[in-house]
Chain A
Amino acid sequence: MENRPEIIRLDQLEKTYYLGSLEVPVLKGIDMSIRQGEFIGIMGVSGSGKSTMLNILGLLDVPTGGHYFLDGEEVKNFSDNHLADLRNEKIGFIFQSFNLSPHLTVAQNIEMPMVYAEMPRKIRRARAIELAEQVNLGHRLRHRPAELSGGECQRIAIARALGNRPSYLLADEPTGNLDEKTSDEIMELFKELHREHNTTIVMVTHNPELEPLFDRVVHLRDGRVVKGEG
C-alpha cells in the first residue's frame, strides 16, 4: 500500500468562514493522505467539518489556508473553468439523493459528465452501456429515474460518476436515503469496484455501522483529524 501513488494529500488545510466581522474556523489544520486504491471513510458528527471537507475535496470550495495536492498537483488559485475541468476529469461525485435528472433516460444520465468532457456521441453511448452493465442495470437504459427503485437510482449515479474514469469517487452519504437491505447492496457494489477495479473511494458518512467496511477511517472532530490521517 505504501508504494502506491498518492491521490490526495492535505497539508495543514484550513477553512475559515467570515460572517461579517465574525470568524468561524471550520477546518483547523487537516493533515491527510489518500493513496490510489484506498477505500476511505470520513466520519464525524454534524458540525465536525465533514461537509466543508467534502466541498473542498470535491473542488467546489477553496481552502483559506494550507495545501491540497490532487494527483501530485497543488490546487491553488485555479480559475473557475480549470476547477470545473478538474472536477470533470478527476472526481466522480455520488450524492445522498442521487441527483439524477428526472427527464433524462438512464443512458442520458450516465452520459452527463462525458458530455462535459466533449466525448463524441457514439463513444459516450457505448461507454454508458458498458457502465450500466457494470452496475447490473444494462436492461434499464431507456427507463427514466422515476421508474427505478432508490437502489437502482444510486447504481445509476455510481455508473455516472465512473464515466470519465476519475482519479477517485467522492460519495456523500450514498446510503443515507436507502433502506438497510438496499444500503447493503450499494455498499457491496462499492466494495466490488474497490476490489475488482482498484477504484479509489472517499466516502463521507456519519453512519458508524459502515466503519468496518472501510480500509481506513478518518475521524473528524471539531475541524481536526482525531484518528486515521494516513
Chain B
Amino acid sequence: MLIRDLYALSLHNLLLHKIRSLLTSLGIIFGVGSVIAMLAISGGAKQAALAQIAVMGIDNIIVYSKTLRKAGSSENARSTTLEYGLTHLDLANIRKMENIEHITTARNARIRITKGIEPLDVQMFWVSRHFMTDLNCKIVKGRWLAPSDFKNSMAVCVIGKNVKRKLFKLGEKNIIGRKIHVPGGAFSIVGILENNSGTTIEGINNLNETIFIPSTTGRQIFTEYTTETGPRMLKIHHVENDLMVIKVQDTQVIDHTAKRIRSLLEKTHKDKDWGVNVPLSLLRQQESTQNIFTIVMGSIAAISLIVGGIGIMNIMLANVYERRKEIGTRRAMGAKKRDILFQFLIETVFLTVMGGVIGIGLGFGLAASVTHFSGMPSDVSLWSIIGSITISGIVGVVFGTYPAWQAANQNPIQALKAE
C-alpha cells in the first residue's frame, strides 16, 4: 500500500468520528496544554529574574543599609538618636580590599516629595558619578550629572522617566531646565533617565521613579541626619550611606569577595543593619530553582501523557474490535498484516499529534490569560512546542502499537464472520 494512501485512509477514519477523536485525545490535549502553559510561565519568570539581575549588574556586589526598627534600649525616651547602616569607614575598608574595581554610592535624601500638597511615590537619592553606568541605566533626554556638577555642588537633578509623568502635566514636552522644588531647595532638571527592567532592587526603589542629585550637593543641603517627629518624641536618624554598588574586577571570585565583605561587616557592626546581594549568585540560585521546577513539571507531564496514552490505547482497542469485519474484508482484498498495522498505528499517531497541537493552542491561551489576569509574565519557547509535538508522536507510537498489532493479527476468517 502506498504511504500516501495509508495517510489518507487513517486521516479519513479519524475525521469520521470528530467528536470521538477529540474526546479520545483530551488527555493529551490537557497534558500538553498544562505543560506548555507552565513552561511559559516559568520561562517568563526566568526572563523577569534575568532582567532584574541584569539591572543590578552581573559583576556587581550590592551592599545596602537596613533600617533598624528596634530603637535601642529606651523606647519611652523623648528623643533618641538612631545610628545604623553603612558608614564611611565601611566604604573606606571595602575600598582597600582586593578585586574591587570601584564603588558607587547612593543615599536617600529622606525627604517627602509633593506636588502641591499631594505626596508622591518618588524618592530623591544623592549618588556618585558612576551610578548610571553601573546600574545599566540610559539617558533618554538631556544628560547625566557631569563632573562639574559634582565639583561645584550644583543644584541639578536627573529624573527617572516616570517622575516626569508624576510631576508635570501630560502635555508638557520639554522639561529640561525646569525646576523641581523640594524641602531644602530647588533643582534644575538636566536629564531624564530610563531603566529598562522597571524593577525594584533592595536598598533602592524603582529607578524610573527616583530623582538623582550629585552626592556633593546632597551632602551640603541635607546632611546625614534626619529627624522624625511624633507626639512627644523626636527621633534622629544618622545614616551615612544607603547603598554601595561594588564593581569587581574578576567575576570568577565574586562570591569570595562578597564573603569577605560580609565578614568585615559582621565584625564592625553589632546589629544586622546591612545586607549583601550578589546578582550573579542570585542568577545561579534562580537557575537551580528552575531546574527543580523543570523536573517537577516533567514528572507531571509524563504522568498526564501516560494517562492520556492509556486512554487512547483503550479506545483504539475498542475500535479494532468494532472494525473486525473491515479488517477481514481488507485482508481478503489483499491487505498485508503490515498494511493493517500501519493503518491503525498512523491513526493513533495522528490522534496524539493533533491532540498535541490543540494542547499547544490551549497552553498559549492559558499562559496568555494568566499573564492578562495576574500580570505574571509568560514566554512560550519554540523548544517547548517542538518538544510537545515530538512527545505526542512518541506517545502515539508507544500506545498505538499494541492495538495496531492486535488489528494486524486478527484471523481474517474470524474477522470476516464478525458483525
Contact = CB atoms under 8 A, between A and B. Distances in A.
Contacts, number: 64
Contacts of A117: 334
Nearest to B5: A115
B46 interface: no
Interface stretch (A36-44, A68-76, A93-101): A93-101
Nearest to B16: A103
B332 A87 contact: yes
B416 A113 contact: no
Interface in B380-419: 412-413, 416
Nearest to B417: A51
B2 A113 contact: no
B6 to A, nearest CB: 9
A61 interface: yes
A80 interface: yes
A133 interface: no
Given A115-B2, A116-B1, A118-B1, A61 B413 contact: yes
Nearest to A115: B5
Contacts of A89: 334
A80 B336 contact: yes
B326 interface: yes
Contacts of A101: 326, 329
A113 B334 contact: yes
B329 A95 contact: yes
Given A115-B1, A118-B2, A55 B413 contact: yes
Contact of A84 (B2, B326, B335): B335
B330 interface: yes
A188 interface: no
A99 B5 CA distance: 20
B163 to A, nearest CB: 70
A112 B2 CA distance: 12
Nearest to B12: A103
B12 A84 contact: no
A156 to B, nearest CB: 13
Interface residues of B, number: 24
A199 interface: no
Given A103-B12, A118-B2, A95 B333 contact: no
Interface string B126-169: 00000000000000000000000000000000000000000000
A87 B334 contact: yes
B334 A84 contact: yes
Given A99-B416, A103-B12, A118-B2, A58 B332 contact: yes
B247 interface: no
Contacts of B336: 80-81, 84-85, 116
A112 B330 contact: yes
B408 to A, nearest CB: 10
A88 interface: yes
Contacts of A45: none
A57 to B, nearest CB: 12
A164 to B, nearest CB: 8
A60 interface: yes
Interface string B305-345: 00000000000000000000110111111111111000000
Contacts of A60: 331-332, 412-413, 416
20 contacts: A60-B413, A80-B336, A80-B337, A81-B337, A84-B335, A84-B337, A85-B334, A87-B333, A87-B334, A93-B329, A104-B12, A115-B1, A116-B1, A116-B330, A116-B333, A116-B339, A118-B2, A121-B5, A160-B333, A164-B334
